[in-house]
Chains A and B, each alone.
Chain A
């Protein structure tokens, strides 16, 4: 026993030492051996971004961004990414509902197919789109013969390529939200006379809105950064299909690293804004319930 005097001074006052003992520190579960590689990895992730900031031609930045070609690429990027997100919402939410609530054989297979674009190298996705929708493609050829309409190397092709790559992000987010959504409310709606469609619109959809929003933001960010599939399927034609990522690549290839860096900075700031808007969702995913 090595109690200090304070414990004995007047049991009635019941006051412990004025300065409370240090709060107990729980031992962290991180093995010391992993700390060094973790720090190294972190530097690896951060230094390129710092490099971008350091080498950025800050003084020329306004001029660079004011150039017609840059403004054009930026506007097209924003437009196509938004259209791709809209398409993903219109097609992806129904897919998510089928995956989450459908009862049919081969649902696992469908889910696997849906996630293929996530792991597929984007350039392969672009080639695949070409074989399907290209002028000599499986669907593209009869379509072209019949209507004279051809998709590749148009702005719409950019949207298609971006949708192909980005929609799985939305589907996965929405399906997760649907699985977390409370079927008890759907039941209650049914006993109140709601058809499944009515219940979906007025009960389920409002419930999964945070998940839909998060999925849409992810989808949009992925579409905005899309390069491989877009370049393969839509090319990088100035004034038609040139979007920010392909513009960055083009500027670098043409020996204008300053412009490439400026464009990269723009894309990076958009990413940071997206990340900030998602932060709330990632940190407390259950709070919106």
Chain B
């Protein structure tokens, strides 16, 4: 491990190694207060292990975990979970089944010595902030998935942690609820003054919720950086497959999403609720893009004229970087590259089916 830095770093500052059986995780990461870093990777990459180390449930073999300059793990130091200013939203929420939503939120205040009345009053404010006042007295078993997620978030935030950990916060939700919850999460993350680490296998969640991303593969970081940069310039095949995503911001229209430059991306808008903000994101994977060397006849609704600026060979496919009426990443087979004689500089038409896009509130 590297020598400890001399200056205390605000926010989360970790550099550790932990092994479980044959699996080893080496992680170096800093997250500034107010920022959100996504730990992105497939199952078994070490995301959950990292999260357990942050919480103190798992002790690293060597290295350190520091929060706002305070050493939580280090040589001869291990602050137990209950003494860490860390809030967790678990993938399965883990709301205490015997307590009401309100008492779940108050739990982290009660453990810190706040009396019953005061902790309930604070919890009620959080419940209200989550728009759940009429559900405050309910047991977790009678809450919907989206409501349970909000209670879990309120419970994690109520004790005012310095580090917030989100473990696959959207994985357990259906598509419609996921949009709502994602929007809600974004709002609360923006208000949260501490550092946030988001663990997810879904690049979309990472892109929408996080400012930075660290891609984990087999217990090691394979790429890190600002979300947009990692998405546009994947450094390994794995990252390309994982985060390769065409993502645009615009405003919702009846037929699709209108970008700032006026381009319309036709999309299925039915998932959006009337109360969703007009500001939306639209995304589609590079594999959903078809390439033509002449303007396609037929009626695909999304046709973009562009030229090839770059080509990368990835496992089994070639990724084209296109610039034009819309900057697009497209994955095509090596056979198609040869057949269509695709080379950098070549003018092409890219088409995307509206049904291949996903739209969600920004």
Contacts and interface: CB of A to CB of B under 8 A. Distances in A.
Interface string A188-209: 1111111100100011001100
B2 interface: no
Report, as a range, how many residues of chain A touch the other chain: 10 to 19
Contact of A191 (B81, B96, B98, B99): B81
A192 B155 contact: yes
Contact of B94 (A184, A194, A206, A289): A184
Contact of A190 (B81, B87, B90, B92): B81
Q: Which secondary structure dominates where chain B touches chain A?
A: loop
B310 interface: no
A203 B83 CA distance: 18
Residue in A188, A202, A203 with the greatest tally of chain B CB atoms within 10 Å? A188
Interface string B147-173: 000000001000100000000000000
Interface residues of B, number: 24
Contact of B111 (A184, A193, A206, A207): A193
A194 B82 contact: yes
B94 A188 contact: yes
A185 interface: yes
Nearest to B107: A192
B88 interface: yes
Contact of A187 (B94, B98, B107): B94
Q: Which secondary structure dominates where chain A touches chain B?
A: helix
B94 A190 contact: no
Contacts of B159: 192-193
B80 interface: yes
A158 to B, nearest CB: 36
A198 B87 CA distance: 18
A140 B107 CA distance: 47
Contacts of A193: 82-83, 108, 111-112, 159
A184 B96 contact: no
Interface string B14-57: 00000000000000000000000000000000000000000111
Contacts of A189: 96, 107, 111
Contact of A185 (B83, B94, B111): B94
A289 B97 CA distance: 9
Contacts of A190: 55-57, 80-82
19 contacts: A184-B90, A184-B92, A187-B81, A188-B90, A188-B94, A189-B111, A190-B81, A190-B82, A191-B86, A191-B88, A192-B82, A192-B108, A193-B82, A193-B83, A193-B108, A194-B111, A195-B111, A202-B99, A207-B98
Given A190-B56, A195-B111, 4 more contacts: A187-B57, A188-B96, A193-B82, A206-B96
